[in-house]
Structure formats: C-alpha cells, structure tokens
Structure 1
Amino acid sequence: MSESEATLPDRRSTYHHGDLRERLLEVVRDLVETHGPEGFSVAEAARRAGVSTAAPYKHFKDRTDLLNALVSDAMDRLAGQMAAERDRYPIGTYEAVAGIGQAYIDFAKTEPGIFRLMFGLTEGHEDEDALQQKGNLCREIVETACGACIGAEATDQAAVLSAYILWTSVHGHAFLSIDKKNKAEADGLKDWHFLMTVTRAVLDASARR
C-alpha cells in the first residue's frame, strides 16, 4: 500500500449510525429514479454508498422495508410542499386549493420514479400504519383547504367529497403528465389553468348543494 493510500480514510468508517441510513435512502432514491423500484438490489445500493453488503441490514429488515422507508420520507416531503404552496395564498381561496394541487403535480414531475413508487409499486405499504397516517395527513391538507372555501369543517361530507374529487382529478393529470400520455392536451393546457378550472368547478358545485 502506498503512503497516499494509507492516509485515505476508509469511507465505511466515516458514517455515523444515522448518516448511513440517510445515505442509503439518498442512493436508493437515485436508483429508483434511474432504474425504477424493481431495477436495483440492496447490494448495489450498499456498493454505491461505499459500505459492505451487510451494512444496510443494520437499518432495514429487507428490500421492502428500505423501499417503505423511502416512501415514508417522500410522504413527509410531499406534505410539506403541499402545505407550503397552500400557505402562499389566503385561506379560503381557490388559489390556496390549487396551490396544493400544483405542489402535487410538481412533485410528480420532479421525482416521477418516487411518485410511482408511492402510489402503486411498494409492496406491503397498505399494512404500514405509519405510512397510512402520512397519507391521511396529505388528504387532510386538501380537505381543510376545501372546507375553508365552502365554509365547512374539514370533516364535513361536502369538504371530504370535494377533496376526493379534486385529488383524483389532479392525481390522474399528474400520472398522465409524467407518462407523456396527454402531450397534445398538456401543450395547450397549463397546469395552473387546469387546477383553477377543476377547483372552481368542484367547489362551486359543492357550495350549491
């Protein structure tokens, strides 16, 4: 071994306990975006993180557990972005509701691999209470904003149904956008115009009921 090699730190020794977990999630996030959730192995993630193939199992039970942790992190970030966009506008306005949708679409376009993983490709996440709670938090952000628009509590049926209709509309638009299924329509319909149109239509209908 040369003198220069001897002075190089062992990368594996530079990680603290929590750092390695975050580094693995960062690596897997990049792998999912590049290859999809089925296109990588835990061993490859370990190699890219510069640790032994056994190291990830100190933090995650298995590959599914690692992916669920990635989804959990993504749900936190999505909820934060939705709330931040909502707060750019006055409470009770169409713009506040549309802002939530804009954050949702932006997230899908920025991290399409993670977005697909969150809503269809993670095994066992329906049995993870923590993930379900985070999903509920995202839904409650929409329900609260809808309720404020129509003068109702977030738990009122009108607010809940309005939020569901808007969520499914925005969700479908987001998936069609990242899958390039609606290119012709998207070229002539900007996200914000779409969001304001469906927001007005749904909330005005709810207010008249």
Structure 2
Amino acid sequence: MSDSSPEVQDRRTTYHHGDLRGQLLSVVRELVELHGPEGFSVAEAARRAGVSTAAPYKHFKDRTDLLNALVSDAMDRLAMHMARERDLFPVGSYEAIAGIGRAYITFAKTEPGIFRLMFGLTEGQEDDDCLQKKGMICREIVEKACADCLGKDASTQAVTLAAYILWTSVHGHAFLSIDNKNKAEAQELDDWDFLMTVTRGILEASLRR
C-alpha cells in the first residue's frame, strides 16, 4: 500500500499528536502485519503518522527500542486474553487450561506478524528486563492453571514441567498454523479438540508420575 493511498490519507487525518508514541506504535503494528518485522523503517512509520522523520526519536531511542515497545504492548494484550479465556471456565478444569491455549492460538492467527516478532530472534529482547518480566507473567498464568488442576503448588517440578510441555505444544501448533506448514492437518483438526486432547494427555500423565 503506498503512502498516497486514500486509506492511508484518511487514517492520517485521524491522528492527534497528543499521543504520538501510541500513534506510532499503532502504525508500526500495521506495518509489521503488512511487511513483517524487517519490512518497515522508522521513516515510513513517521510518514504514515503524518509527522517528521525525527519525531519518533523523541519517544524511542532507535528502531529496536520501537519494536521492543511494540512487543511489550503485545505481551500485555496476550496476557489479558489468556486470563480472560481461562476465567470463562471453572478453576482447576481442563477447559480453563485449554481456554488459555485458545487465546494463544487466536492471538497468533489474528496478529501473525506481531506473534512472530514477539517470539522471533529479535535483537535486544533478551536484554530487556521489562519484556522478560512480561513473558514470565504469561508463563505464570499457565503454571497457576496447571497447579489448580493438579492440586499442587505452582513452584513444584510436576507443575512447571507440565506447563512447559503444554506451552511448547500449543506454541508449536500456533506457529505451524500461521506458517501454513500443517495446512492439511489444520483443516481437519479443530483447535479446541487439539487443546483438550493435549491438556488431558499431559496433565493425566503428570498425575500418574
């Protein structure tokens, strides 16, 4: 989409630069979905927001800082969706855990560019304490739900291992789905059936240990 398209021109007129930081994040989020994490420039984001190419640097040190801020926002939204889906079901149920997984897969399918950015090898993320803490919040949502189901403390090895196995299973399915690597299987396999099968299998195996 060119910067001169009617859609972009219309969107520009809606920006009010009292919240330039938020507006830039919104623009970059669109660009990441259109072109991928590597397919945009800060200058392009500034043009689409209708500001000078220098304006973004009043809020972000550089391109990496801008992308990390986008990931931070995405982690907040992912955690919110995971907790919301969990709370639709009784505490300690398999469905509550599957609900967390459904939120995770839905997020990946709805925002595949952002999902790849969050979990790809993006420069600087591993050194960002804020991002690491937000990732831990998401992990703790899964661990707490597993602990409730297994009737154990969330810090026990049985819980942390079950949560890790569940997370990696759902994470792999999410990535394979958005990358169309399992297209035939995905058409035949309902996400909820997948989630309940994986949840039941992993937690029942944990209870037998």
- Shorter-normalised TM range: over 0.9
Q: Secondary structure at the match of 1:171?
A: helix
Q: Give the structure with higher Rg (CA).
A: 1
- What's the TM-score, normalizing by structure 2? 0.92
Identity, % of aligned positions: 77
The yes-or-no answer on 1:85 pairing with 2:108 is no
Q: 2:115 & 2:202 partners in 1: Cα distance?
A: 25
Give the AA of the match of 1:81: H
- The alignment partner of 2:154 has SS state of coil
Matches within 5 A, 1:1-209: 14-16=16-18, 19-209=19-209
Distance in 2, matches of 1:75 and 1:144, equals 18
Partner Cα distance (2:79, 2:151) in 1: 23
Q: Spell out structure 1 runs of 4+ moving beyond 4 A.
A: none
Question: What do the CA deviations read for 1:46-88 (whole angstroms, capped 9, x no partner)?
Answer: 0000000000000000000000000000000000000000000
Contact 1:90 1:96 in 2 (8 A): yes
Give the residue type in structure 2 aligned to 1:15: H
1:187 Cα offset (Å) = 1.2
- Gaps (5+ residues) in structure 2? 1-12
SS of alignment partner, residue 97 of structure 1: helix
- In the TM superposition, residue 122 of structure 1 has moved relative to its aligned partner by 2.0
Q: TM-score if structure 1 supplies the norm length?
A: 0.92
RMSD: 1.5
Q: CA deviation at 1:14?
A: 4.1
* Paired residues of 1:150 and 1:203 also in contact (CA < 8 A): yes
Q: Deviations over 1:145-193 (max 9, x none)?
A: 0011010111111110000000000000000000011111111110000
Distance 1:26 1:104 in 2: 21
2:50 maps to amino acid: G
Query: C-alpha offsets along residues 98-127 of structure 1, whole Å, 9 cap, x if unaligned?
Result: 000000000000000000000014211000
| Cα separation, 2, equivalents of 1:197 and 1:37 | 33
State whether residues 37 and 121 of structure 1, in contact with CA within 8 Å, keep that contact through their aligned partners in structure 2.
Answer: no
